[in-house]
Amino acid sequence: MMDEYKDKRYIKEIIKEYNILLESWGSSESWDLNQFKTLENMIFETTKIDVNANTLKRFFQQKTGNPQLATKDALCRFLGYSGYTDFVMKKTKKEETTSIHTENVHTENVVEETKEHTDNIDKNVNSSQLDNASNKVTKDPEEVSNRIYKKNKWYVNFTAILLLVIVGYMLYTYKLKDMYVEYLISKIEFTTSQVKGICPLTVTFSYHIPASLFKDITVVYEEANGDVSERKLNENIDKINATYIYEGEAFCHLKYKDRIIKTIPVECRKTGWSVFVREERKKIFRVFPMEQAYNDSGYVSLPIENVPQEAHTNHMFVSYVFYKEKLIDGDNFIYEARVRNSKQENAVPCSDIIMYIHSDTAMHGFAMNENGYAYIKFISGENTIKGDEYNLSRFNFNSSEWHVMTIKVVNKKTTFYVDGEEVLGMDYNEPLGYANELTLRFKGCGAVDYVKVYNLDGKVVYEENFDSDKRK
């Protein structure tokens, strides 16, 4: 019951923070379903966690008892916390000084009031005792009064001390112990220096775990095809190796009891082109050979009938991905592609077209779309400009027409172009090193006519025109 009470209190704190953040919407008690759908999309774009609009409505309008931890984690991550536990810890830490001070003052008042009450009782008792004792020659009235007062005072002091001990024990049991465990979890180190490479890929994970937690720690391997395996760690060493076989996005999870506390994504690639289909909200991920996307028109576009039926939603993304180790210097190059995302390619509103070039450590890229200005973004190294933070409504882009999108990087200065016209320029500081992956991502199936990568002197490093005779 104590945990439920605490949860209800912190849920109210979460709702309070959202009401402050979204003040222009009015009180969350009056939000309609469209507002909750907007919030659903905002949370997903920030956290990559799907919380259904109806779930949000029940949460904010207090029509559910105790929401799932995953829901609370997502809501807290959107607010800038690492999760619900982090939210509780920070709120608790903030309240501790005030709480402890209030408890001390309250205890002092209780003791003082009790003492005052006892004094009154003593006076009444003494009066009665003296009246009775007046008929007895053998008893001293003053002696009787002192003895009764001392006895009652001892009971009051003992009760006050006992209350303090009980309160202290409860604080330790319900707060301090949990806080200490969370503190130890925050000290866990779990890292790797390699997260991308050619299949089969063997990755070495390093770890340092507090001894008191070790018996409850396991590592979980999740392959790109969905296969999952779990094993214990060796306390006598600080490294563990895992081999990933299947192409696509895999994971390594560190788990404390039944709770995943850290996750490291791993990308297995094969040399050349592949097609990735992803519906993130349903956790659908499929890999197809590029040959399935070729057609007689001289460009590639994955037929919609090849996409799993359950992925036919407004959140389906298809990516055409090329991988080659040390493809080009990631800080000096020109990368261009002719692309389209029309109804013919089963475009999904707002018909996003996204162009990336990756190294093992960072990326350059930009996303354009038709009228969905909040989802426009530009990335260069460690810097990002996003449409939900800046007014990018000036960028008009008809995705149903063919466009040449270009990224040019010269000595850590990045320029983005559409059809030969400069769209935006930005700088970055941390070098990318060798670029090894080209990605053209579409909300829908999209189409790619050609891809070219140049040196700054104009020499073609890589080119693909997707001629239909290459499908075999």
Same domain? 441 vs 319 = yes
Worst-scoring range by mean pLDDT, 63-67, 206-210, 243-247, 394-398? 63-67
Q: How far apart are CA 25 and CA 32, in angstroms?
A: 10
Same domain? 179 vs 195 = no
Considering only the C-alpha atoms of the chain, give the largest distance between any 2 of them, rounded to a whole number of Å: 127
Same domain? 336 vs 365 = yes
Same domain? 435 vs 344 = yes
Same domain? 322 vs 211 = no
Whichever domain contains 380, its CATH number is 2.60.120.200
Worst-scoring range by mean pLDDT, 20-34, 242-256, 293-307? 20-34
Q: Pairing between strand 284-289 and 316-329? A: unpaired
pLDDT in tens, 302-328: 999 999 999 899 899 999 999 999 999
- 248-256 sheet: strands from edge to edge: 196-198, 259-269, 248-256, 217-222, 228-232
Same domain? 176 vs 233 = no
The confidence band for 468, taking pLDDT boundaries of 50, 70 and 90, is: low
State residue 62's pLDDT score.
82
In sign, the C-alpha dihedral spanning 122, 127, 129, 134 is positive
The confidence band for 170, taking pLDDT boundaries of 50, 70 and 90, is: low
State residue 166's pLDDT score.
76
Number of domains within the chain: 4
In the listed set 33, 53, 80, which residue is the last one of a domain according to the structure?
A: 80
Q: Report the share of the chain in percent with pLDDT over 90.
A: 50
pLDDT in tens, 338-358: 999 999 999 988 889 999 999
Worst-scoring range by mean pLDDT, 120-129, 227-236, 265-274, 441-450? 120-129
What average pLDDT does the segment 438-452 reach? 97
Same domain? 126 vs 215 = no
> Residue 445's closest CA among 310, 275, 285?
275
Tokens read off for 125: 């008792």
Q: Nearest 5 degrees, angle CA 25-CA 26-CA 32?
A: 70
Same domain? 373 vs 453 = yes
Cβ-based neighbour number of residue 368 at 10 Å = 28
* 3-state secondary structure labels for all residues of 272-316: EEEEEEEEHHHCEEEEEEHHHHECCCCCECCCHHHCCHHHCCCCE
pLDDT in tens, 401-414: 999 999 999 999 99
Radius of gyration of the chain (CA): 33
Same domain? 296 vs 432 = yes
Residue 353 parent element (H or E): strand 353-359
In the listed set 214, 237, 269, which residue is the last one of a domain according to the structure?
A: 269
pLDDT in tens, 74-113: 999 999 899 999 999 888 876 665 545 554 544 445 445 5
Cβ-based neighbour number of residue 300 at 10 Å = 27
State residue 388's pLDDT score.
81
Q: How far is CA 467 from CA 33, 221, 233, in A?
A: 48, 39, 50
In the listed set 80, 113, 139, which residue is the last one of a domain according to the structure?
A: 80
Say whether pLDDT at 1 is over 50.
no
Same domain? 316 vs 203 = no
Same domain? 216 vs 297 = no
Say whether pLDDT at 136 is over 50.
no
Same domain? 251 vs 279 = no
- State the helix-helix crossing angle for 84-133 and 141-171, rounded to 10 degrees: 170
- 460-464 sheet: strands from edge to edge: 421-427, 413-418, 403-410, 332-340, 447-454, 460-464
> Residue 446's closest CA among 323, 319, 277?
319
Whichever domain contains 225, its CATH number is 2.60.40.1930
- State the helix-helix crossing angle for 53-60 and 2-21, rounded to 10 degrees: 110
State residue 96's pLDDT score.
62
Say whether pLDDT at 450 is over 60.
yes
- Domain range for residue 8? 2-80
The confidence band for 371, taking pLDDT boundaries of 50, 70 and 90, is: confident
Residues with Cβ within 8 Å of 27's Cβ and at least 6 positions away in sequence, in order, are 19
pLDDT in tens, 246-272: 998 899 999 999 999 999 999 999 999
CA 228 to chain centre: 22
State residue 135's pLDDT score.
45
Q: How far apart are CA 193 and CA 420, in angstroms?
A: 38
